[in-house]
Structure 1
Amino acid sequence: MALKPLNESFYKLPTLELARALLGKLLVKETDAGIASGWIVETEAYIGPGDRAAHSFGNRRTPRTEIMFWEPGYVYTYVMHTHCLVNVVSGDVGMPEAVLIRAVEPHTGIELMYERRGHDKKEKDLTNGPGKLTKALGIEKADYGRRFFERPLFIAEGTEPELIQNGPRIGIDNSGEARDYPWRFWVSGNRFVSR
């Protein structure tokens, strides 16, 4: 059965609900080298203007954050410490919110993932972090502005996780009270969760 991108209406959920709903869905990237995909097992929500950890805190509108002000379902990629990270734009138009995809469980194209990440890697380490999964799947900064409901970078239907946990986000220590918001969501017990 051919994989089909989820309808754009899926992305209209409120950001915290979307961050949960993405768990268990399939993240797919089609490239000339082949198709690689993984089940989303960890996400983090960033609620725009009032969230000190968000790039768009205080409605900060820059060339980098511009896409966050658009319709939900757009691809927001950026580079941090040489790693490309991928986010799903969420929230209404003009409300710059997003969900970071933090980890996936490899599904298809695993050999391709090893080629991109190195054959010395343990399978668990291929995609258990936001910079690792983009490299493994071939997601690049150039994917900025694509739409997740269209090929070649899209999200397809998956299976509902049995148990979802949530807690504080990771790596945002300098963001005041926002560092304690329980806006990281993960599939309980999945070995590909980043930590």
Structure 2
Amino acid sequence: MNPGNEGGRLISPSLLAMTALEAAPRLLGQTLVRETEDGEIRCRIVETESYGGAEDKGSHAYGNRRTARTETMFAAGGLAYVYLIYGMYHCVNVVVGDADDPQAVLIRAVEPLSGHDAELMRRYRGSVSGKAANLCNGPGKLCRALRIDRSLNGCVLRHADSPLRLESGDRADELPIIQSPRINIDYAEEYALKPWRFYIDGHPYVSVKAPEPLPFSLRG
């Protein structure tokens, strides 16, 4: 355990049972925990994207495409879906919803919760130039900084002894949330314009600020 950090309460199973579009904004402010041989790393989720269901042309499982790569997306909510892009960068998603309905939330950016967390992340990430947020303000960056790779695909996120898990953090309904189109999915045709990316407004670790941000509220 990190100095000054205490283990938290595991994330609610009810959140993991939601659709990706419902879960994506609610995962903001929650804590992603990575256990490594060098110690525990804890970070706050500050940016997410929803990939929801077989009809989403931006999803790997569009049209119920069920392959060795996408099989994890068809599990009941609560697993990590980790895949490789461009042959070199890993991305980590939270599988949500019901079994056989491929729903996943991409974690796009996180913020280390302490200086010790940031130190371990820098050790794994390697040299980082520019602002401190460049450590983990993108899906590939955060996976390198947290040493997340395909070996964690299918990892159960609600086990206290899991090497990768989710714990409850901030109340998402009290956060200033922005909604905007997802990043780099031009191939998704009309789904490329869906405002299914969510981030904490003004947070320095967000990967890309929306040019025309749409305020989003979880409060009725």
**TM class by shorter-chain length?**
over 0.9
CA deviations on 1:126-160 (whole Å, 9 max, x unpaired) are 01000001111121110001111122201111112
Counterpart Cα distance in 1 of 2:175 and 2:15: 20
Paired AA for residue 141 in structure 1: R
- Partner of 1:68: helix, strand, or coil? helix
Contact in 2 for aligned 1:48/1:55 (Cα 8 Å): no
Corresponding residue for residue 21 of structure 1: 26
Corresponding residue for residue 134 of structure 2: 125
Alignment size in residue pairs: 195
Paired AA for residue 93 in structure 2: N
Counterpart Cα distance in 1 of 2:39 and 2:94: 23
Paired AA for residue 17 in structure 1: E
Contact in 1 for aligned 2:128/2:135 (Cα 8 Å): no
Compared CA separation, residues 120 and 21, structure 1 to 2 (3 A): closer
Counterpart Cα distance in 2 of 1:50 and 1:114: 38
Matched, 1:163 2:167: no
Determine which of 75, 87, 98 is the counterpart of 2:93. 87
Flag structure 1 segments of 5+ consecutive residues without an equivalent: none
Contact in 2 for aligned 1:37/1:137 (Cα 8 Å): no
Determine which of 87, 99, 104 is the counterpart of 1:98. 104
Determine which of 35, 43, 60 is the counterpart of 1:30. 35
Which has the larger displacement, 104-113 or 125-134? 104-113
Counterpart Cα distance in 1 of 2:50 and 2:106: 6
Corresponding residue for residue 110 of structure 1: 118
Q: TM-score normalised to the size of structure 2?
A: 0.85
Counterpart Cα distance in 1 of 2:23 and 2:122: 30
Contact in 1 for aligned 2:46/2:205 (Cα 8 Å): yes
Counterpart Cα distance in 2 of 1:51 and 1:2: 36
- Partner of 1:105: helix, strand, or coil? strand
- Partner of 2:54: helix, strand, or coil? helix
- Partner of 1:175: helix, strand, or coil? helix
Paired AA for residue 124 in structure 2: R
Q: TM-score normalised to the size of structure 1?
A: 0.95
RMSD: 1.3
Determine which of 43, 46, 51 is the counterpart of 2:51. 46
Counterpart Cα distance in 1 of 2:191 and 2:15: 26
Which has the larger displacement, 80-89 or 102-111? 102-111
Counterpart Cα distance in 1 of 2:92 and 2:9: 20
Contact in 2 for aligned 1:117/1:136 (Cα 8 Å): yes
Counterpart Cα distance in 2 of 1:134 and 1:36: 12
Flag structure 2 segments of 5+ consecutive residues without an equivalent: 1-5, 209-220
Matched, 1:139 2:165: no
